[in-house]
Structure 1
Amino acid sequence: MIFNRERETNKFLFKRIPLILVMIFTFASLSGCGSKKDEEKKDTVFVFAGNPISKGEVYIYAQTIIEDYEATYGKDVWNMQVTVSDGTEMNMEEATRRDIIDAIVRVKVLSSMAKNKGIELDDNEKAAEINKADIFFNRLTDEQIDRMELTESLVQNVFCENLLANKVYTAIVKEAGIEMSDEDARVTTFYDMFFSYYTENINGEIFEINDEKKSEQLEKADQAYATLTNPSSEDGVDIEGLSTFYKLKNSGYYTLTPKEIKAEYGEKIYDILYELEDGSYSVVVETEYGYHIFYMKYKTDQEATAERKAKLVAEAEERYFASKLPQWIADLDKGYSYTGSVNFDVYKQISFR
């Protein structure tokens, strides 16, 4: 399907509200991706840069989103109140309708750049997108096709446009040269063996234990530290197994950024953690919540750091693109606005309920 959630940030079509949907379709004349005459529709939702955007084209975007949201949140999703990027509150349907149109405008901007950047689809790329489009089209009912005036050619164009736009977007953000060091993206994985000062009764109420119990907790922590640092077996000791032995419910592995560690544990623990080497233990450390023994698994978790680095770079690239987009829109169609350009009578023929 077009709206593949597993695509990378610069490849996907929508981000879920309230993050605001972002689409990267384009509408270009693509050989082998449908006939231009089939794209001329009687019902136009809006016109951008002289190009009429048909009800059928908008429906291709909308239908996939409707199915996706309802599968995730249920059919009542359209009554949910959401806060969009500018802080405005509105229901999900209103926000989604606007985001779809905004996304298509973004697509037109990308398509306008393809020729100048020398970007096009090769025959294999076109064939792959046409195959996906045919699968999508064959899932539609006759009623949907007739009511929205859809053609197989139109759907093929939208899929091909998606891939072309992705290639344009990738070229644009690559030109920006956005980079990030592993240090800036660092993620740390450690174990917190926690002997708490607090207990919970059968009613779920939390109580602080008395001084005698706190002393017992310290004794257990000292025993655990001795076992961890002087194991009786050459194979060492499993810190998770030892936590189970002491019935420590709030112990576990954490994968956090340095900033998150400092916010969660404070400066003191932050300094202790980053003085550890991989595979080493801290001494018993007291906080206001109890006693801790920290085990450093990965000061820099390579896998998690790489994932975070890719995510942060993609976000930075999107911010760069978004900063340029308003001017590019104005250059193509200075009179365009959502409220002034959209024919809402036609748009409302696409039902979200």
Structure 2
Amino acid sequence: MKAFMKRILSVVSIGAITAALLAGCGNQGKAGASAASEDAAVTMEQGSISMGEARLYAYVMKNQYEAYYGPSIWDMEVEDGVTLGDSMKNVITDQLVQTIILNSQAEAYGVSLSDEDNQAVEEYVKNFKTNIGEDVMEKEGFTEDNIRSVVQKSTLAGNVYQAMFDAEEVELTDEEKADATCIKVQHVLISTTDTTKKDDEGNNVDMTDEEKEAYLAEQKEKAEEALTRAKNGEDFQALADEYSSENAGFEFSFDKNGYDPVNMSSMVEPFYTAAWKLGEGEISDLVESQYGYHIIKCVSLNDEEATQASITSAENNKKSTSVDEKMSQQINEASYTESEAWKAYKLVSETAEDETAGETGTSESVAGESGETSAETENSSESAAESES
């Protein structure tokens, strides 16, 4: 269950809100709201996020996850007494805190919204309103100004994060540099994947087991023949032209994990493992993968272009990790206050919401000062306890 939770929360990022707004969300949420959209939801010394903005964050995230996992996920218990809705609510609160922190550092990093950013913001607002409609906005409790403010703040937060990334200085260890080294190889691939044939009407159909067995034996025989010729010094490019399948490719560069940093692609494990065992100029024996039989020739133990790209990628990954750790520390150490209305706000599954609406006679019952649905009010004390930072 914890692994599922980690997987389902992994897409939450600074860009998630703006990306979702650009695409628009077509599903209607059912959290409901009547607390004023401009009342504060989360307040810090550095700034605040309004209830309308917070509801918008929650609405977008809710629709994003329901698009993948369905509307019934929120009441699923991810640990004792804690539902996925509770956990996501805490994640959203952290996202709000992170947005406030990053926006507060814009001046220090000399960052602002460009004319292009502001133009994009207006496009986001227009697209979002078109996709969901004003009736849903009213039902969910956020306004056009809330949408504009969220996208502005999210965009500025992204710009500040990029400035933090650009300013971060890291240095790779000798071991990390060695791991980034890329070799260059060439290969001949005798495919074993074409296990179909034409029937009497010209349609592709699967071979029979006997036909498939004969085909695989024939391909292995071809591979052994090509290997003998390669070991005898015949031109490797000519052998590839003769034996390789049409889209097999010929030359590849990759690191010890089989990753090609230039083309941003990965080799299959049997291929890159065998390749890294070769010395420069050496030719492998037959290497079998799900694609067929490979014959690999090591051209260089250090492809300088690919290695430099790999080093840059490793440095960027290290910078991202460092910035993320610092950002996480700031969030963990942050002092903030949640309003009663935001504490009462809950993410619950559609079935539970419908049942609550049936019990109260309406899907948008107002309960006390919290201004949330009856389902949210009934659970406000539990939600408040779970929302403590």
Scaled to the shorter chain, the TM-score interval is 0.5 to 0.7
Deviation at residue 230 of structure 1 after TM alignment: 2.9
Give the whole-Å Cα distance in 1 for the aligned partners of 2:88 and 2:304: 37
8 Å Cα contact 1:57/1:154 also seen in 2: yes
**Counterpart position of 1:315:** 317
Q: What is residue 142 of structure 1 aligned with on the other side?
A: 134
- Which residue of the other structure, out of 293, 296, 301, is the alignment partner of 1:294? 296
Aligned residue among 53, 56, 62 for 1:57 = 53
Pairwise CA distance, 1:74: 4.0
Q: 1:252 to 1:118 in 2, by over 3 A?
A: closer
Q: 1:78 to 1:294 in 2, by over 3 A?
A: farther
Deviation at 1:59, TM superposition (A): 2.7
- Matches of 1:317 and 1:89 in 2, distance apart? 37
Q: Taking structure 1 as reference, are residues 252 and 218 closer, same or farther at Cα in structure 2, changes over 3 Å only? A: same
Instruction: Measure, in 2, the Cα distance between the counterparts of 1:78 and 1:255.
Output: 45
Equivalent-residue separation in structure 2 for 1:313 and 1:111 (angstroms): 26
Partner Cα distance (1:138, 1:218) in 2: 58
Q: Which amino acid aligns with 2:44?
A: F
Confirm or deny: 8 A CA contact 2:55 2:140 kept in the other structure: yes
When residues 187 and 74 of structure 1 are mapped into structure 2, their CA distance, relative to the original with a 3 A threshold, is farther
Distance 1:97 1:320 in 2: 26
Residue 122 (structure 1) aligned with residue 127 (structure 2): no
1:125 deviates by: 2.4
Distance 1:134 1:254 in 2: 45
State the 1:168 CA deviation: 0.9
* 1:177 to partner: Cα distance: 2.1
Contact 2:185–2:298 (Cα < 8 Å) also in 1:
yes
Q: Give the Cα separation in 1 of the matches to 2:181 and 2:237.
A: 33
Residues 67 and 148 (structure 1), Cα distance of their counterparts in 2 relative to 1, 3 Å cut: closer
Deviation at 1:144, TM superposition (A): 2.3
Offset of residue 286 of structure 1: 7.9
- Using the TM superposition, give the Cα deviation of residue 156 of structure 1 relative to its aligned residue in structure 2, in angstroms: 1.0
Deviation at 1:137, TM superposition (A): 2.6
| Map of 1:105 onto structure 2 | 97
Give secondary structure in 2 for the equivalent of 1:282: coil
> Alpha-carbon deviation of 1:302?
8.8
Displacement of 1:259 in angstroms is 3.5
Distance 2:95 2:183 in 1: 33
CA distance in 2, matches of 1:112, 1:191: 54
* Cα drift, residue 266 of structure 1: 9.2
**How big is the shift at 1:347?**
1.7
Q: Secondary structure at the match of 2:180?
A: coil
For residues 66 and 305 of structure 2, the distance between their equivalents in structure 1, rounded to whole angstroms, comes to 33
CA contact (8 A) 2:76 2:84 kept: yes
- SS of the residue 1:237 aligns to: helix
CA distance in 2, matches of 1:265, 1:227: 20
For residue 235 of structure 1, report the CA deviation from its aligned partner: 7.5
Is there any run of 5+ residues in structure 2 with no aligned partner, and where?
Answer: 1-5, 18-34, 193-207, 210-216, 259-266, 351-389
Matched, 1:346 2:337: no
Q: Which amino acid aligns with 1:59?
A: R
In structure 2, how many angstroms separate the alpha carbons of the residues matched to 1:258 and 1:64?
Answer: 40
Give the direction of change, closer, same or farther, for the CA distance of 1:326–1:56 in structure 2 (3 Å limit): same
| Structure 2 contact 181–256 (Cα < 8 Å) conserved | no
Q: Find out whether 1:66 has 2:62 as its counterpart.
A: yes
Give the conservation status (yes or no) of the 8 Å contact 1:45–1:55.
yes
In 2, Cα distance between equivalents of 1:149 and 1:102: 21
- Structure 1 residues 113 and 291: CA distance shift in structure 2, 3 A: closer
Q: CA offset at residue 113 of structure 1?
A: 0.8
Say if 2:167 is the partner of 1:162.
no
Superposed, which structure 2 residues align to 1:163-182 within 5 Å?
A: 163-178=155-170
Matches within 5 A, 1:1-353: 17-19=8-10, 21-23=12-14, 41=37, 44-49=40-45, 51-76=47-72, 78=74, 92-178=84-170, 184=180, 186=182, 191=187, 193=189, 221-228=223-230, 229-230=233-234, 236-238=238-240, 242=243, 257-259=255-257, 264=270, 270-272=276-278, 275-276=280-281, 282-284=283-285, 293-295=295-297, 312-329=314-331, 333=335, 346-348=344-346, 353=350
User: RMSD of aligned C-alpha atoms?
Assistant: 5.3
Residues in 1 aligned to 2:183 and 2:304: alpha-carbon distance in whole angstroms: 8
- Shift, 1:330, TM fit: 6.3
Q: What TM-score results when the alignment is normalised by the length of structure 1?
A: 0.60
Tell me the TM-score normalised to structure 2 length: 0.55
Which amino acid in 1 is paired with 2:114? D
Other structure's SS at 1:236 match? helix
Q: Relative to 1, partners in 2 of residues 1:255 and 1:18: Cα closer, same or farther, differing over 3 Å?
A: farther
* Aligned 8 A contact 1:193 1:293 in 2: yes
In the alignment, the residues of structure 2 paired with residue 187 and residue 71 of structure 1 have an alpha-carbon distance, to the nearest angstrom, of 41
Query: What's 2:386 paired with?
Result: none
Q: Is the 8 A contact 1:134 1:156 kept in 2?
A: no
State the AA in 1 paired with 2:119. A
| CA-CA distance at 1:222 after TM superposition | 4.0
C-alpha distance in 1, partners of 2:315/2:78?
A: 27
Residues matched between the structures, number: 295
Distance (Å, rounded) in 2 between the aligned partners of 1:146 and 1:25: 23
| Shift in CA distance, 244/149, structure 1 to aligned 2, threshold 3 Å | closer
- Give percent identity, aligned residues only: 21
Letter in 1 for 2:344: V
| Runs (5+) with no aligned partner, structure 1 | 1-14, 27-38, 203-212, 246-250
Q: Deviations over 1:173-223 (max 9, x none)?
A: 221124666971647666475799xxxx96xxxxxxxxxx9xx99865441
CA distance in 2, matches of 1:165, 1:106: 8
